[in-house]
């Protein structure tokens, strides 16, 4: 409630909601592929890991502007380590934490303002995090500003005019991160429904090899579906063996 509140006030509700729900969904999909079959992935921990990733990126982007960046970094890392360690206990899905954190990093790269050092080198101003930024502020390429979307639709070439090489490099990093997350999400869905490929060591990301913890939730399923012909034959047999009065 404290970390999420501060981050939502900083970047706005729209960006916050996008990261929150996307991180939770991606975390559950990752857990559905690699967690034990009997582990029910529920709750908002994956989404909160996405918010922690946003906080970590924001800290790294504004490192020199912080009063005590080392203290802030240790606080974030402590939160991540504690939550990750709790995810190693039996019955918990640590893959949802990992997936949420990864998606938070990807969307943070796409949605947050560029690093302060990057803006100083390119001479770009930092517009405020709002739905309608100031008209005189030049955007640094972050996704989500309505004014820039409208101007891009009306004059797409003017949006890229005068951009420096460093801006283009960072833009491609953002686009590549978003494309990679989309491809990874599609592959995970494909693997969940069709391929069902697993790995032998992945389970240790969500459990400790202590007291047979890594076997908790590993259920074995047997397909007992019968065809219509089998069911019809079963019905005849039941009718023949039924007691008569």
- Give the residue numbers marked as catalytic: 45, 97
Question: Angle between the 13-34 and 45-61 helix axes, to the nearest 10 degrees?
Answer: 120
H helices of 38-124, in order, are 45-61, 69-86, 94-111, 116-122
**Alpha-carbon distance values, 74 to 46, 71, 77, 79 (Å):** 20, 5, 5, 9
d(C-alpha 122, C-alpha 142), whole Å = 14
**Spatial CA neighbour of 13 closest among 179, 160, 131:** 131
**Alpha-carbon distance values, 73 to 3, 57, 67, 79, 90 (Å):** 13, 10, 12, 10, 29
DSSP 209: S
């Amino acid at each position: 409630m404290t970390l999420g509140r501060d981050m939502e006030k900083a970047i706005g509700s729209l960006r916050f909601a996008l990261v929150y729900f996307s991180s939770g969904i991606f975390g559950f999909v990752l857990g559905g592929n690699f967690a034990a079959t009997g582990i029910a992935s529920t709750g908002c921990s994956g989404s909160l890991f996405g918010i922690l990733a946003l906080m970590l990126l924001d800290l790294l982007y504004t490192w020199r502007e912080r009063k005590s960046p080392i203290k802030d970094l240790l606080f974030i890392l402590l939160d991540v380590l504690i939550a990750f360690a709790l995810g190693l206990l039996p019955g918990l899905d640590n893959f949802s934490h990992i997936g949420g954190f990864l998606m938070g990093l990807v969307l943070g790269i796409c949605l947050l303002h560029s690093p302060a050092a990057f803006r100083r080198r390119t001479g770009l101003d930092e517009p405020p995090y709002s739905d309608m930024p100031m008209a005189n502020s030049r955007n640094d390429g972050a996704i989500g500003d309505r004014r820039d979307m409208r101007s891009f639709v009306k004059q797409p070439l003017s949006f890229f005019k005068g951009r420096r090489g460093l801006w283009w490099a960072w833009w491609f990093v953002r686009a590549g991160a978003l494309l990679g997350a989309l491809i990874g999400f599609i592959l995970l869905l494909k693997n969940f429904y069709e391929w069902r490929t697993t790995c032998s060591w992945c389970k240790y990301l969500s459990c400790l090899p202590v007291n047979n913890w890594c076997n908790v939730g590993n259920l074995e399923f047997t397909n007992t579906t019968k065809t219509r012909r089998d069911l019809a034959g079963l019905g005849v047999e039941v009718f023949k063996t039924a007691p008569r009065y």
